[in-house]
Structure 1
Amino acid sequence: MMSWMDVLGRVSFSNCDPIFDGIDQDWSVLPAPPAWLTGHVLRKDCLTAPIPAADYALHHDELFLLPDLGIVSSGDVGSVLLFGSRPLESMRDIALPSDSSTSKVLLRWALKNRGLDPKFVDSGPDIDTMLEKCDGALLIGDRSLMASRQYPDLVKLDLGREWNDSTGLPMVFGVFAARRDAPEEHLKKAYNDMMTQLTKFESDESWRTEVISRSSEKLGFPYDRMDDYFQREVRNRMTPRDVEGLTTFLEVACGIDKGPKWAFHSE
């Protein structure tokens, strides 16, 4: 019988394909929406997973983070977008998707920062349904990428860009979390295997092309759009500057006045 310590959770979007495409087959991979992965980690369904940074804030006493890995943007993120049929300033209500946590906290922070106070309505993550009942719709991940391709004129705000413009810092949307009682030996193996794949994606041009080709086929997107997404918008290697962005987000948007707790430090 497979143990939870042999399972890695992953976001069921393209944004962490560079880590999980080709991962060592010793691991079983559990795909789920970001907000569901938090529960999977806490319930011991998997050893570690990229959970929303806002969920780490909620459960920071029970979890710690793996270093160097995340879901990060330095400006436009391209896949955490607010859509709308009217300008941001005149939106009366905004539909929020059920599969997200960080983006909802970030949107509330951003609108408050701008002096705006629309009503929020929880919704399934379908742009047509959301905009039928609300002036605005927040979408994340592949659904957001696809909606921006289908309705480019409806994109009103890129939340990665908004955070970066407001703070000057990168935005860390997802963090690789584990329970504090997870065995360090297993966590280090998971970390090493994930970093191996990420480094291969970053340094081996032919492998990078293969991974992006699979991502673009999965979404029915042109290769060039996905190449741009991984080149310019989303990345998975977390730098010290990104950690500064994460710490600031935890403090100003989530009310956590202490920085992240790490499972161990990278060599």
Structure 2
Amino acid sequence: MSRPRLGQVDQINCLPVYHALEEGLLPMDIELVKGTPSRLSNLFFSGALAATLISSIEYPRNADNCFILPGLSVSADGRVASILFFSKIPVTELEGKRVCLTESSDTSAALLKVLFDHYYHVEVQFITAPPNLDIMMQKADGALLVGNDAMLAYQRVKEQGLSYYITDLGEAWKLFTGGKMVYALWVVSKSYARTNREEINLLNKILLESKEIGLGQIHALVSKAQKKLSLPLQVIEDYFKTIRLEFDEDCRKALLTFYDYAYKSGLIDERVKLSIWGESGGV
């Protein structure tokens, strides 16, 4: 690769990080590659991207192949507003029922499974379907939606007065553990980083600068997000106040807590240490 290729997930929770890059507000020698989380993850692990955002559950499954870029994550401290579980009956009454998972996010599906195992203590039958609430609810008694799909479904449920119970998984995780939840991480390929140290240091610096610019231009982000989703302004404004993009010590502890429970639920093969670019063990 002649210059770093950076994956860009097309979800509004990433807008604050990518906005300045999209608008040419920062000088950069980076190629942005847009795509869905699954497509970008496949490109990254096949060696076609130097760095990208990945679902946080993917890190322990691929820790030998990537470093976590410092200072960046998609996280929340409690309510997240974009990872929602819709159910016909209360969650605690779903024993033996079918639950439909979206195909859109491995981390959210893992989080729901962890909560069922260790918080709600309910055993359900999981099936997977495309992210369409009506179709999912025809097949099951509960449905998990994430990102733009979750926010649009929530708005429709409220506007139409549909009688679904709605559980925000960020709120449930906070009640369970008392900590934050980290949903996604920016990572860099180990093979690329080890031979392109200066490029990766510059990429990390640009992403952090872009994030700060984006967070300082919330009105522009809200306008851009509304064009994507056609949600009320106040809903989008609230979302940008809810989502967090730092990767501080609390995030690190929360991530390891999540991995511990994921291991207990058999969702990852082993507990892992976090290998952060630029820190001890992160070259």
Match of 1:240 in 2: 249
Match of 1:50 in 2: 53
Q: Which amino acid aligns with 1:191?
A: N
Match of 1:149 in 2: 155
2:38 paired with 1:28: no
4 and 123 in structure 1: CA distance in 2 versus 1, 3 angstrom threshold: farther
Whether contact under 8 Å (2:60, 2:272) holds in the other structure is no
Whether contact under 8 Å (2:99, 2:140) holds in the other structure is yes
Match of 1:180 in 2: 190
Match of 2:78 in 1: 75
Q: Which amino acid aligns with 2:132?
A: D
Provide Cα deviations, 1:39-79, integer angstroms capped at 9, x if missing partner.
22111222111101111111112211101101001010101
The answer to which of 140-149 and 248-257 deviates more is 248-257
Match of 1:259 in 2: 273
TM-score of the superposition, structure 2-length normalised? 0.86
Match of 2:135 in 1: 129
Return the alpha-carbon distance in structure 1 between the equivalents of residues 43 and 16 of structure 2: 22
Q: Which amino acid aligns with 1:219?
A: L
Q: Which runs of 5+ in 2 are unaligned?
A: none
Match of 1:63 in 2: 66
Q: Which amino acid aligns with 1:144?
A: A
Residues 199-238 of structure 1: pairs in structure 2 closer than 5 A: 199-202=212-215, 204=216, 207-231=217-241, 233-238=242-247
Return the alpha-carbon distance in structure 1 between the equivalents of residues 169 and 2 of structure 2: 34
9 and 174 in structure 1: CA distance in 2 versus 1, 3 angstrom threshold: same
Return the alpha-carbon distance in structure 2 between the equivalents of residues 104 and 184 of structure 1: 34
Q: Secondary structure at the match of 1:95?
A: strand
2:5 paired with 1:7: yes
Q: Secondary structure at the match of 2:100?
A: strand
Distance apart, 1:155 and its partner CA: 4.5
2:211 paired with 1:198: yes
Q: Percent identity?
A: 23
Whether contact under 8 Å (1:49, 1:177) holds in the other structure is yes
Provide Cα deviations, 1:14-54, integer angstroms capped at 9, x if missing partner.
01100001214633322233233322211122211110111
Q: Which amino acid aligns with 1:184?
A: R
Return the alpha-carbon distance in structure 2 between the equivalents of residues 240 and 117 of structure 1: 33
TM-score of the superposition, structure 1-length normalised? 0.91
Q: Which runs of 5+ in 1 are unaligned?
A: none
Provide Cα deviations, 1:69-116, integer angstroms capped at 9, x if missing partner.
010010101011111222222331111111211011110000112110
Distance apart, 1:120 and its partner CA: 0.2
- Structure ID, larger Rg: 2
Distance apart, 1:177 and its partner CA: 1.3
2:126 paired with 1:117: no
Alpha carbon RMSD of aligned pairs, Å?
Answer: 1.8
Distance apart, 1:158 and its partner CA: 1.0
Equivalent residue in structure 2 for 1:95, among 75, 83, 100: 100
